[in-house]
Every structure is written in structure tokens, then in C-alpha cells.
Amino acid sequence: MSSSLSFLLLLLLSLLLFSSPFCFGQVGNGGAKLNPKFYEHSCPKVEEIVKKAMAEAVAENPRWAASILRLHFHDCFVKGCDGSVLLDSSGAFLSEKRSVPNRDSAKGFEIIDKIKAIVEKTCPETVSCADILTLAARDGTVLTGGPNWVVPLGRRDSRSASLSGSNNDIPAPNNTLNTIITKFKRQGLNVVDVVALSGSHTIGKSRCTSFRQRLYNQTGNGLPDNTLDQTYAAKLRTRCPISGGDQTIFSLDFISPTKFDNEYFKNIIAKKGLLSSDEVLFTKSEETKKLVTKFAESNEHFFKQFAKSIVKMGNISPLTGSHGEIRKICRRVNH
């Protein structure tokens, strides 16, 4: 066989391999790629099961959609999307649930437990908790009026958690914009992803303790944040006093709190973003300001980019192949 013919055959083989549906997603720590059809034969009804369970949960309480979406975010930003956020503390093992970003605010674990139990009855020891959480986050978004997207699957569950990673890697409500961007970049996410994924706050809620400083003492001078509409601030102060009421919750998007839409971005432009980390997207950078404006003007643009960015986030350092495990119960590692 001539060298030119050999080269052409190799080129054709490469094209076939890289155009295959089995090359969808990102290579995991086990070397395998995530693939939307991963459970096509081993657990073909998994997406149907998750969707039905999420529909029941959101019908009972619309807040579950935001809670599950937040869990997915907090999972992926610590050691990758490996279900580590779902683990309980046990002996010397410290759960990420005890971290500052999660303590008293991370919710929805019982929803994932319920879904996992149903999946285990149908397909024992087959579907990871990490994949269930990723699917549930997508379904909750769709159920509240948000975009749909194809979820690459094949993640495996971590046998460990990182309390320090949860405390240090998840963006905080009072972080500067540069710090937020840096934390996203560490995960392989860019500025566009920062703004698009912040849009998930359209269905979220936050505690008084997360934004109190904006109402009373933003920069240490005893004055409220001047980037916050003062009429809105006065309204917030009636339920978020200078002391006490830490756990009182407020909608991050007060216009349409249970609907996934672009009102969040319109609120920011009107100086009515609840968290400092929301408002800085419009006030501290021309690049992020343009993106906020673009998403506020077009729900379609926001939905399209959000879907791209959350798939990208869901592909952060997945455990695949022989790495990790398929937990039988999401709250604890297998024995």
C-alpha cells in the first residue's frame, strides 16, 4: 500500500472517530467521554424517571427547581461534577454540606435521594448520583420555563469530598467581580459563562445574611450600597434588619421569582439586583455590562447561551471509566 493511500485511510478513520456520537462531551478523569446515550441500553428509562420525579417535586414546591440547579453548580465547582456535594459527614469524613456556601442554605438532597431510590429499583448500581443531579438540574430549569439542552452522561461518583474546596472555590455573594471571574476561570469557564450562569438566579432565593451589608454598610463607612436602588433597599430593610433575621429568604428576581426568564438581567440594569455579586456584573466591567444588556434585551440569546454554558459546566472534570464508583445511596460511599 502506498504511503499516500495509507495517509488517506488514517485521515478517514480519524474523521469517523471524531464525528462519532460517542465523542460527545469532555474526556473524564478515566479517559472516557461523556455521551448523551450512555444509558441507552443499561438504563433506557433514566431520563423519563428523573423528569417525572422533578415534575412532582416542582409541582409540590417550585423552589426545588432552583435548589437542585444550585446543588449542581456547587457540585461541579468542587472537584468537578462528581456528586461529592451529596455526601454526608461520617466519622472523620467532613461533608461539603458543612461549608459556608452550603450550610443552612443547600437544599434538595431528599429530592435526589428519592430519584436515586426509584432509579436503583429500575437499574441497580448503574446510574451515578452525579448524573442524576445533572439531569434533575436540567429538568427543573425546563419545568420553570427555561431552556432545554442535551445532557452528556457517564459521570461516576466520587468517594471523597472537599470541605476546603467548597469554602474556597464557590463564588460568594460579596466577592468582587475579578474574584468571581477568577473562580470561574479555574474551572475552565469564561466571562460569558459567568454572566450566563449567573442568570440561574432568576429562580433562586437568598438569605438576608447574604446581602445585609448592601443595606447598611457596604464599604465599611456605615452607608448602604450606592449601586442598589434606594427605594428597593428600603423595602428590603423592612424584612432584613441590621441584626437578626439571618435566615429570612428573598427572591433573587422579585418580578417573576418562579419563572426562568431574563427578568434577572433587567433587574440588574434597574439597580435592583439582590446580591452584590449580581450588581457588579453591570457596574464593574464594560464586558460583563454588555452581556447583561444583551441578555436583558433578548430572552432567546440568554437561553441559548445558558444552555451552552451549563453543558460546559457539567463537563468539569467528570470521573469516568473505572474512576470513582456508582453509589447505591447518594449520601454515602459504597462499603
DSSP string across 76-106: HTTTSSSSGGGPPPBTTBPPGGGSTTTTTT-
209 is in an annotated binding site: no
Closest CA to 233 of 216, 250, 220: 216
Residue 104 annotated as lining a ligand binding site: no
Q: Is 78 annotated as a binding residue?
A: yes
The active-site residue, picked from 41, 74, 301, 335, is 74
Gap between the Cα atoms of 98 and 61, Å rounded: 24
Find out whether 82 is annotated in a ligand binding site. Answer: yes
Is 229 marked as a binding-site residue? no
**What does the DSSP assignment read for 227-266?**
TS-HHHHHHHHTTS-SSS-TT-EEESSSSSTTS-SSHHHH
Coil/strand/helix, residue 33: strand
Q: Is-catalytic flag, 72?
A: no
- Count Cβ atoms within 10 A of the Cβ of residue 275 and give its class: 0-12 exposed, 13-18 middle, 19 or more buried: buried
201 is in an annotated binding site: yes
- Residue 96, annotated ligand binder? yes
Q: How many angstroms separate the CA atoms of 80 and 187, rounded?
A: 8
The reply to whether 253 sits in an annotated binding site is yes
Q: How far is CA 274 from CA 28, 182, 232, 249, 320, in A?
A: 36, 22, 9, 11, 38
Looking at residue 32, the DSSP 8-state letter turns out to be: P
**Has 225 been labeled as part of a binding site?**
no
Q: Which residues are annotated as a binding site for Ca(2+)?
A: 75, 78, 80, 82, 84, 96, 202, 253, 261
Q: Which residues are catalytic?
A: 74
Q: Which residues are annotated as a binding site for heme b?
A: 201
Q: Which residues are annotated as a binding site for substrate?
A: 171
Q: Which residues are annotated as a binding site?
A: 75, 78, 80, 82, 84, 96, 171, 201-202, 253, 261
